[in-house]
Amino acid sequence: MADVRPLTLRVPEPAVRPGGTPVFADIATSEAGAVRRPPIDVAADDIRDLAYAIIRVLDDEGRAVGPWAGTRDDAEALEGLRHMMTLRAFDARMLMAQRQGKTSFYMQHLGEEAVSCAVQRALEPGDMHFPTYRQAGLLVAAGYPLTTMMNQIFSNAEDPLHGRQLPIMYSSKAFGFFSISGNLATQYIQAVGWAMASAIKGDTRIAAAWIGDGATAEPDFHAALVFASTYRAPVMLNVVNNQWAISTFSGLARGSSATFAARGHGFGIPALRVDGNDYLAVHAVARWAAERARANLGPTLIEYVTYRAGAHSTSDDPSAYRPKAEFDAWPLGDPVERLKRHLIARRAWSEERHRQGEAEILDTILAAQREAEAHGTLHSGPRPSARDMFEGVYATMPPHLRRQRQEAGY
Amino acid sequence: MSRRTMIEAIRDAMAVAMERDDNVVVFGEDVGYFGGVFRCTQGLQQRFGANRCFDAPISELGIVGAAVGMAAYGLRPCVEVQFADYVYPAYDQIVSEAARLRYRSNGDFTAPLVIRMPAGGGIFGGQTHSQSPEALFTHVAGLKTVVPSNPHDAKGLLIAAIEDDDPVIFLEPKRIYNGPFDGHHDRPVTPWSRHPLGEVPDGHYTVPLGRAALRREGAAVTVLAYGTMVHVAEAAAADCGVDAEILDLRTLVPLDLDAIEASVRKTGRCIVLHEATLTSGFGAELAALVQGACFYHLEAPVLRVTGWDTPYPHAQEWDYFPGPVRVARALLQIVEA
């Protein structure tokens, strides 16, 4: 036993910490257009390599190339650009509103706008998304009123959730956006259940599950993959790998040892890995998975490779755990800039029209904000009734809650 | 009317609910082809098809999480957790999701589902086949918690639970699946066929949630019990001759406080019984409610007879289970107080 040395525990560390020079050596980006597009009825085993590649459509010159190109025409791509610009501007205004004390909390999408905005356009009305707190692009791209989003953020008198929920935990059945929970990963298996229900009823609607890289470590992720595979549920299983779970890098959830997409193969689920900052690639891949699900061919796991450019939330300071300039070094760039460049290259857009567009979008958002603030903000103006606090716990109020409401003075 | 065991009554309840509403689906571990380890779902898959009654992977969180999604779609899932002792992996889905979905979405999404689980001891089930975790659910706003004590109620309550628009935790005391057990473990157990509450109406009927049932009228002391402990209370009262009024609570949330209040105001004394451990058990809530509502009518402190604050042991089953001897002692103690 003389040669047995004491064991040591490995605690993974990101390649670089604050003060260091950002590197992304482990992001092996594929060439745009280089990854093949299999038929939607492909067997999971036949596309194992796609879980380790990155599907990209937009090349460095802004051209849309390869077999995944062509799911969006110029008008649709322009619409996508507008959605992403709107989400970015909305984020900036709400970040400011939080700093001004108009709300308690906010979470941005900076750098990840393409993912939710593009996937939204790949599904149909009636389908149901089970989002996390970082997919507001699903609402923006669906045309959900910005004022209503702000009413929720401000917890004001017109908040559709009557002030019961933390800001950004939106809910809209009509817009196919399932109620957001603070508990991570729970919605992933719920999406599978919703999809199973659609199949049980012989419906044609499909579900989309959403999760971040960090939350894949939760057991609900595993349960969702088992159930989705076992029952061949019509669900798109989205993993948004933005490299960071608050302060922990994706390697802590083992995103570097094998890709998150590769997890699907342990369950016989076909998996795709896509450039999350390439609006056209995201749309194409999501459409592929949606067609597959709707054709009763079962689930698809998709990993969107992106980067969380902003702070985790308004309560977070990323400079404490990662280099400040890391986003500048991110090899997949900025989704807004890349789609803009594509549209300019196609002469469907210009720098000038982009600036105009930004100004118009800001006007729209400011108008929405004025309207929302007229209904109150967290600490001033009209607010939801305290009486409302007791409503909706049950379908009908049981006697003990009636007593408590009375005791509270309502 | 026909005579049924608890198992048959529960199975019949699901069949009736599935027959009436295409949105009712039943699933869980071993629930489909095999018909459940306790036979509660026997024949349902054959009758309604694998789309309506099916086996699930061994994942309690998966079962409940999928059910929440199905309920959000518009189905009425009635799912099974094989033993209440194994519900903990699903606790997040129950507490954070099912219970709060209506509230947090302002009614936009709801979770009309039932989670059935065999619970309780008295079967030499040891630590992980004997637990009574009801207090972990009664503490959660948004959940309803039901514990039947006989076949008649089991069927009516389960149909009511499936038809209810809120998530319902349905705890089935497995010790009384085949016959009423009064805690006299040294005597042969009588089957449900010889008990009046083994008479179960055919077809559809409900026992409303939130209503207690008077099992024995008495003047000396009110006994609040549910599940197996209802039968223990009846035996204990007979054994010691105390004229106890026995209330079978049936639903813990919402609770029939009116019935409790009326009884305790009449008798002036109250004993709370449950198999679950004492500290922070549901009995604590009952005792607090009774002293709050009936303080000036009480002639003795409220007593609790419960399981000890230990994990459920194996060899010491009958030292742990709050049987008729302990209950009778408490009855005599409180009427003399």
**Are B176 and B227 a contacting pair, CB within 8 Å?**
yes
pLDDT of residue A24: 86
**CB contact (8 A) between residue B105 and residue A179:** yes
Interface test with A, best of B23, B64, B70 (most A CBs within 10 A): B70
Neighbours of A142 (CB within 10 A): 19
State the best of A148, A181, A196 to mutate against chain B, taking most chain B CBs within 10 Å.
Answer: A196
Position B235 confidence tier, pLDDT thresholds 50, 70, 90: very high
Chosen for mutation from A129, A168, A394 (greatest number of chain B CBs closer than 10 Å) is: A394
Mean pLDDT on B281-295: 98
B66–A189: do the CB atoms touch at under 8 Å? yes
Chain A residues whose beta carbon lies within 8 Å of the beta carbon of residue B106: 160-162, 164, 171, 392
> Does residue A242 fall inside a structural domain?
yes
CA pair distance A9, B75, nearest whole angstrom: 47
C-alpha B258/C-alpha B175 separation (Å) is 29
With CB atoms and an 8 Å threshold, state whether B89 touches A219.
yes
Residue whose tokens read 């050596």: A25
Average pLDDT, chain B: 98
Amino acid code (one letter) for B189? V
Nearest residue of B to residue A402 by CA position? B254
Alpha-carbon distance B185 to nearest alpha carbon in chain A (angstroms): 38
- B210–A220: do the CB atoms touch at under 8 Å? no
| Bridge partners, residue A129, by sequence | A177, A208
User: Model confidence at B53, in pLDDT bands (50, 70, 90)?
Assistant: very high
Interface of B with A in 26-45 (CB under 8 A): none
Using CB atoms within 10 Å of the CB of residue A129, give its burial: 0 to 12 exposed, 13 to 18 middle, 19+ buried. Answer: buried
CB pairs under 8 A between A and B: 141
The closest CB to that of A399, out of B59, B97, B254, belongs to B254
- Cis ω for the linkage preceding B254 (within 30 of 0): yes
Active site residue B297: no
Task: Using an 8 Å CB-CB cutoff, list chain A residues near B254.
Answer: 398-400
Residue A409: CB partners within 8 Å, gap ≥ 6?
A: none
Q: Which residues of A touch B255 (CB under 8 A)?
A: 400
| pLDDT cut 70: percent of chain B above it | 100
Residue A38 lies in a domain: no
pLDDT tens readout for residues B246-275 = 999 999 999 999 999 999 999 999 999 999
Show the domain range for A234.
44-313+322-379
Please report whether residue A39 resides in a domain. no
Domains and CATH numbers, chain B: 2-200 (3.40.50.970), 213-336 (3.40.50.920)
pLDDT at position B337, please?
84
pTM: 0.98
| The pLDDT value given to residue B201 | 98
User: Tens of pLDDT along B118-150?
Assistant: 999 999 999 999 999 999 999 999 999 999 999
Q: Which B residues, 96 through 135, put their C-beta within 8 Å of a C-beta on chain A?
A: 96-97, 100-110
Peptide bond into B188 cis (omega under 30): no
Residues 244-263 of B with CB under 8 A from A: 253-255, 257-258
Rounded Cα distance between A287 and A296, Å, is: 14
Residue A196's CATH number: 3.40.50.970
Decide if A90 is inside a domain. yes
Is A66 within a domain?
yes
CB contact (8 A) between residue A186 and residue B103: no
The partner residue sitting opposite B69, judged by closest CB among A162, A165, A197, is A197
Q: How far is A49 from chain B (nearest CA, A)?
A: 28
Measured between beta carbons, the chain A residues lying within 8 angstroms of B144 are: 394
At A265, list the tokens.
Answer: 């193969």
Mutate to test the interface with B, among A178, A190, A388, A404 (most CBs of B within 10 A): A190
| All residues at 6 or more sequence positions from B196 whose CB lies less than 8 Å from its CB, including other chains | none
Q: Which helix (H) or strand (E) holds A249?
A: strand A248-249
- pLDDT, one tens digit for every residue, chain A (410 residues): 679 999 999 999 998 999 999 888 777 778 999 999 999 999 999 999 999 999 999 999 999 999 999 999 999 999 999 999 999 999 999 999 999 999 999 999 999 999 999 999 999 999 999 999 999 999 999 999 999 999 999 999 999 999 999 999 999 999 999 999 999 999 999 999 999 999 999 999 999 999 999 999 999 999 999 999 999 999 999 999 999 999 999 999 988 778 999 999 999 999 999 999 999 999 999 999 999 999 999 999 999 999 999 999 999 999 999 999 999 999 999 999 999 999 999 999 999 999 999 999 999 999 999 999 999 999 999 999 999 999 999 999 999 999 999 999 99
Q: Which of B306, B335, B311, B309 is nearest to B323 (CA)?
A: B306
Contact at CB, B105 and A198, closer than 8 angstroms: no
The predicted pLDDT at position B308 comes to 98
**Which of B129, B152, B231, B274 is an active site residue?**
B129
* The pLDDT of residue A25: 75
Residue B256: closest CA among chain A residues belongs to which residue? A399
Closest CA to B290 of B332, B244, B251, B259: B259
- Assess if residue A295 is contained within a domain: yes
* Helix/strand/coil percent split, chain B, to 5: 40, 20, 40
Nearest to B105 among A171, A186, A394 (CB): A171
Which residue on chain B is closest to A172 by alpha carbon? B108
Cβ contact (<8 Å) for B65 and A226?
no
Q: Residue A31 falls within a domain, yes or no?
A: no
Task: Please check the confidence at residue B3 and state whether its pLDDT lies above 90.
Answer: yes
pLDDT average, residue stretch B239-243: 98
CA dist., res. B275 & res. B121, Å (int): 7
Residue from the list B70, B255, B258 with its beta carbon closest to the beta carbon of A196 = B70
Counting the structural domains of chain A, the total is 1
| Closest Cβ–Cβ partner in B51, B65, B70 for A223 | B65
Q: What pLDDT score was predicted for residue A332?
A: 95
Phi-psi domain of A176 (left: phi exceeds 0; alpha: psi -120 through 50; beta: other): left
- Cβ contact B66–A196 (<8 Å): yes
Examine residue A128 and state whether it is found in any structural domain, yes or no.
yes
The answer to whether the CB of B268 falls within 8 A of the CB of B235 is no
